[in-house]
Structure 1
Amino acid sequence: MSSSAPGPELLGTRLRHLLDQLDGDVAAVYADRGLEWFRPRYAPVVRELAASGPSSIRDLARATGVTHSAASQTVAQMVKEGLVVLEPGADARSRIARPTPKAEALLPVLDAESAATTAAAAELEAELGYPLSRLVGEALDALARRPMRRRIADAMMDT
């Protein structure tokens, strides 16, 4: 890479690349343990269900910090993998996810991976000039105050 790093014009591309590297390496850890089929996005859901018991998709989304749509897609994939079953909720629109014995059997591996990933993330952040977790939090807060769509529209009006 050249000495002059790309600026904000490639922010989305570089963030996707960073996420791909992080997720790819966590997936490789699962593969090293014979869980090639297990996706990193499943872990927070399994751990939340183990901690809180059967939960609605909406509650899982809130607890894991993703959108309802993302949680719904993840749970649908987990149903196919035999990690959760879905049951009707209190109203016709809600569904309750319940972990299967297959998911519960993974908890020791997921707990060990989570602790190791937390330690590795702390080590990574120690090498950076600014903690990545703090920066991501600040970026999400700033976008909640004023979404990127609005920022782009305002910038287009200025040109």
Structure 2
Amino acid sequence: MRDIPDPAAVGTLLRHVLELLDGDLSRIYEEQGLPEYRPRFSPAVRALLAEGPLSVSDLATAVGVTHSAASQTAAQMARADLVTHTPDPLDARRRLIDLTPKARALLPRIEAEWEATAAAMAELDTELSMPLAELLREVAEAVGRRPFRERVGAVYRGPGSGGPS
């Protein structure tokens, strides 16, 4: 049995790499006494530190994820008592997400992990043909220019499409 997914299954391979990276970071947080903290929280924490309280939509934009992903992350962070949801004083229909005192107390530990992760990523990049973040940005830009659905649709000839199957 193989430890690495089929290289032709790019989505599976991307998830596998993410699981390897995030899994190790999660274990570090557990070892540091932060079992409820997840690697996916760090971009939200950084955005909230930089910009202050944000709506889910603004957090999604700041982090570069979908509204749904930002909402799910904020809900997980709220369950861990890392963020609060309060009414926006300028628009009662919106709720603002902000860091709790518990999250602020954890910042020195979280920031130390950020620095260590950046150093570890720099080391890993020396073993790659190009920096991973650079490659992923290129992929995102290319798919932004021409969505993957269009690329697949241009060549897909499934059953019932009139073409070869």
Instruction: Give the structure-2-normalised TM-score.
Output: 0.87
Give the equivalent residue in structure 2 for 1:107: 107
Q: Which has the higher contact order (CA 8 A, sep 6+)?
A: 1
C-alpha contact (below 8 Å) 1:84/1:99 kept by paired residues: yes
Structure showing greater radius of gyration is 2
Q: Higher mean Cα deviation, 82-91 or 9-18? A: 82-91
Give the equivalent residue in structure 1 for 2:116: 116
Give the equivalent residue in structure 1 for 2:13: 14
Give the equivalent residue in structure 2 for 1:32: 31
> AA paired with 1:121?
M
Q: Higher mean Cα deviation, 118-127 or 40-49? A: 40-49
CA displacement 1:85-128 (0-9 Å, x = unmatched): 11123335422101110111111011100011001001000011
- More helix, by proportion: 1
Give the equivalent residue in structure 2 for 1:138: 138
Unaligned runs of 5+ in 2: 158-162
Alignment of 1:43-62 (within 5 A): 43-62=42-61
CA displacement 1:132-151 (0-9 Å, x = unmatched): 11110000001111111111
> AA paired with 1:61?
A
Amino-acid identity (%): 50
Q: How many residues align?
A: 156
C-alpha contact (below 8 Å) 1:27/1:40 kept by paired residues: yes
C-alpha contact (below 8 Å) 1:87/1:97 kept by paired residues: yes
> AA paired with 1:10?
A
